[in-house]
């Protein structure tokens, strides 16, 4: 089965395949206690994982589903469970769930005793190719998404493709947004594969599903290995993974996280694509190709009118901003990401009008 090794602050494997739950014991040596953090819908899966751990004390920590889990109150609940169970630095956490669960569990692991081990078992396409890989952890606040967090690499990520067979279609399509993003910023072969049959690409049964997942993970592994903590200043490092995210995160906040992350990122890609064209940095042809691919798989490419003021305010507190300077990851071509800092406010509004529904 394919294994991608991420070389960051520590090296770890991302394993992609089927029937991987029993493999978790390969990465749990030395632990006396293991906490499995999961949403209510994955209680049975969490129990199955705990059944694979007969020689340790395991506990289940059930947290809310989706973005509701990424709060200070849920974080404190997890800390309390660890404390009451006597977790030490030898012990570890296993996350089972989507991106919100891996974000939360990673942050719990990063902050308990200043850092204990964590294994991620992502159960959604989005989590497999994005949230579970790369070491970013965090929770949301009233001021924005993922504003509180840390970098904490897992000891392993197990992407069991069996989980995708029962994922809701809209959620699966949302995960494709991050794969398409990886294609535009680094690996054009992803785009070619999806263009060959965009309808089939929207199902986990597609013959190229494993390949595009592995390719997207490899893109992230390469980028993270070069720049784990987005510390390259004005050059383009890990920030390229945020293509489409500045505007996408703003949509999520304005919509109170009722939008799927992938859907918001897809619209964000169209926004920043239009911005790059208007700034003279990207050709219309690449923008049109992006629109065609996103539309073909069923992702949204437009947003509501009359929301600009709220979106702009949300972007001002985005993690990629520097002081009052808005900072966008853009494309200059497929595989050529770049930065656009402090664009003319008129361009920002004009790019928004290009993606308004019915424009």
**pLDDT one-digit tens code per residue, 234-246:** 456 678 999 999 9
Q: How many CA atoms lie within 13 A of 318 on its CB side?
A: 28
Question: Can you give the C-alpha Rg of the chain in angstroms?
Answer: 20
Whether pLDDT at 110 is above 50: yes
The average pLDDT across 125-144 equals: 88
Instruction: Identify whether the C-beta of residue 287 lies closer than 8 Å to the C-beta of residue 335.
Output: no
Task: Kindly tell me the number of DSSP H helices and DSSP E strands found in the chain.
Answer: 13, 11
Contacts for 55 with CB less than 8 Å, ≥ 6 apart: none
- CA 116 to chain centroid: 22
CA dist 60 → 46, 140, 222, 232, 345 (Å): 7, 23, 34, 39, 49
For residue 316, name the pLDDT band (cuts at 50, 70, 90): confident
- Beta strands 156-160; 117-122: pairing state: parallel
Q: What pLDDT was estimated at residue 66?
A: 84
Is pLDDT larger for residue 54 or for residue 16? 16
Q: For residues 322 and 56, which has the higher predicted lDDT (pLDDT)?
A: 56
- CB distance 294 to 288 below 8 Å: no
What's the confidence (pLDDT) of residue 1?
75
Distance CA 83, CA 105 (A): 15
Cβ atoms within 10 Å of 359's Cβ, excluding its own? 9
Using alpha carbons, select from 250, 244, 243 the residue that is nearest to residue 312.
250
Higher pLDDT, 265 or 66: 265
How far is 156 from 175, CA to CA, in rounded Å? 21
Q: Residue 159: is its pLDDT beyond 50?
A: yes
pLDDT at 72 over 60: yes
Q: Are 152 and 135 in contact (CB under 8 A)?
A: yes
Question: Of 112-116, 130-134, 318-322, which has the strongest mean pLDDT?
Answer: 112-116
If you average pLDDT over residues 51-70, what whole number do you get? Answer: 90
Q: State the pLDDT at residue 234.
A: 47
**DSSP letter assigned to residue 303:** B
How buried is 321 (Cβ within 10 angstroms: 0-12 exposed, 13-18 middle, 19+ buried)?
A: middle
Banded pLDDT at 226 (limits 50, 70, 90): low
Mean pLDDT of 257-272: 95
Instruction: Report pLDDT for 136.
Output: 87
Q: How confident is the model at residue 68 (pLDDT cuts 50, 70, 90)?
A: confident
Q: Is pLDDT larger for residue 68 or for residue 319? A: 68
What DSSP state is assigned to residue 302? -
Residue 59's DSSP bridge partners are 35
Which region among 4-13, 203-212, 316-325, 350-359 has the lowest average model confidence (pLDDT)?
A: 316-325
From residue 149, alpha-carbon distances to 5, 264, 326 in Å are 24, 21, 21
Q: Which domains does the chain have, with CATH numbers?
A: 3-166 (3.40.50.1970), 169-354 (1.20.1090.10)
Predicted confidence band of residue 41 (pLDDT cuts 50, 70, 90): very high
Q: What is the pLDDT of residue 322?
A: 55
Q: Is 346 helix (H, G, I), strand (E, B) or coil?
A: helix
Least confident of 23-32, 211-220, 289-298, 315-324: 315-324
In angstroms, the first-to-last Cα distance of the chain is 46
> What is the average pLDDT value for the chain, to the nearest integer?
92
Greatest Cα pair distance, the chain, in angstroms, is: 63
Q: Is the pLDDT of residue 181 over 70?
A: yes
| Structure confidence at residue 359 as a pLDDT band (50, 70, 90) | low
């Amino acid at each position: 089965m394919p294994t991608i090794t991420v070389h960051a602050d520590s090296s770890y494997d991302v394993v992609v395949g089927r029937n991987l739950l029993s493999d978790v014991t390969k990465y749990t040596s030395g632990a006396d206690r293991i906490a499995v953090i999961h949403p209510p819908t994955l209680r049975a899966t969490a129990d199955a994982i705990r059944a694979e751990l007969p020689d340790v004390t395991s506990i289940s920590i059930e947290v809310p589903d989706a973005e509701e889990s990424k709060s200070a109150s849920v974080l404190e609940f997890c800390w309390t469970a660890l404390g009451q169970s006597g977790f030490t630095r030898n012990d570890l956490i296993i996350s089972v769930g989507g991106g919100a669960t891996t974000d939360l569990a990673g942050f719990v692991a990063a902050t308990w005793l200043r850092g204990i081990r964590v294994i991620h078992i992502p159960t959604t396409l989005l989590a497999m190719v994005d949230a579970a890989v790369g070491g970013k952890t965090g929770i949301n606040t009233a001021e924005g998404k993922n504003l509180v967090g840390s970098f904490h690499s897992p000891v392993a990520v197990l992407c069991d493709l069996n989980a995708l067979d029962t994922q809701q279609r809209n959620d699966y399509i949302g995960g494709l947004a991050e794969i398409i993003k990886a294609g535009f910023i680094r690996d054009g072969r992803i785009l070619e594969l999806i263009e060959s049959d965009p309808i089939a690409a929207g199902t986990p049964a597609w013959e190229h599903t494993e390949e595009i997942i592995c390719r997207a993970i490899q893109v992230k592994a390469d980028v993270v290995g070069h720049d784990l903590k987005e510390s390259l200043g004005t050059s383009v490092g890990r920030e390229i993974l945020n293509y489409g995210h500045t505007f996408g995160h703003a949509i999520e906040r304005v919509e109170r996280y009722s939008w799927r992350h992938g859907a918001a990122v897809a619209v964000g890609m169209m926004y920043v694509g239009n911005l790059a064209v208007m700034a003279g940095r990207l050709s219309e042809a690449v923008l049109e190709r992006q629109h065609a691919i996103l539309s073909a798989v069923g992702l949204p490419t437009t947003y509501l009118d009359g929301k600009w003021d709220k979106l702009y305010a949300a972007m001002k507190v985005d993690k990629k901003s520097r002081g009052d300077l808005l900072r966008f990851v853009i494309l200059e071509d497929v595989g050529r990401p770049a930065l656009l800092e402090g664009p003319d406010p008129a361009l920002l509004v004009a790019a928004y009008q290009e993606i308004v529904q019915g424009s």
